[in-house]
Amino acid sequence: VNMPNLMSHLKKVAEQKPQATYYNVDMIKYQVSADGIQSTPLNLAVSWRGDATNTDLRIDYKYNTEAMAAPVPLHNIHFLVPVDGGIAKLQAMIPPATWNPEQQTIQWKLSSLSHRSENGGVGALLGRFQMIEGPCKPSQLAVQFTSEGSTLSGCDIQLVGTGYRLSLVKKRFAAGKYLADN
């Protein structure tokens, strides 16, 4: 850490927010690429089945404690899937989901997921669609989530030396490009 640069930055922040009792500074930001299913915090399997009139979509998910330095819950999990083929009727969505007719997408939202969740963080999302112009072509599932309190890499930070201290170290990760295919 270049301490003179850090002090200069903190002085600027203090001038902008003189009433604040502390200041947050991002020290390290980095990207992690998955190295197989064992390194992803949320394992996914997507399957599509259908004919000219009906399409079934199933998304199996599993919370993976092995992917994190310390297992922490995933939050604000959004599963988004485009569904083509002209949806005439949504026959079932388990658990309930949101259908966007303009974008032809279905979205499920889970508030949190961990190894302490129901069934140990293992579950499935199901959608059944009645088609006008079927069959539906399988499309890519996009997932977003955040997590705080751990990292995927095990990276940690500490200051060595006298005169400075870290009062709080926040660890978090977020899904950037998290995709699954059939």
pTM of the model: 0.83
Q: Which of 59, 49, 30 is nearest to 157 (CA)?
A: 30
Q: Are 179 and 141 in contact (CB under 8 A)?
A: yes
Domains of the chain: 32-180 (2.60.40.1170)
**Residue 169: both structure tokens together:** 């170290």
Q: Are 32 and 60 in contact (CB under 8 A)?
A: no
Q: Are 1 and 27 in contact (CB under 8 A)?
A: yes
Note down pLDDT in tens along the chain; length 182 residues: 788 888 899 899 999 999 988 888 887 888 877 777 888 999 999 999 988 889 999 999 999 999 888 899 999 999 999 998 788 788 888 999 999 989 999 999 999 999 999 999 999 999 999 988 877 889 999 999 999 988 888 888 877 777 777 778 888 888 877 777 76
* Stated length of the chain: 182
Give the C-alpha separation, 83 to 140, whole Å: 10
SS3 154: coil
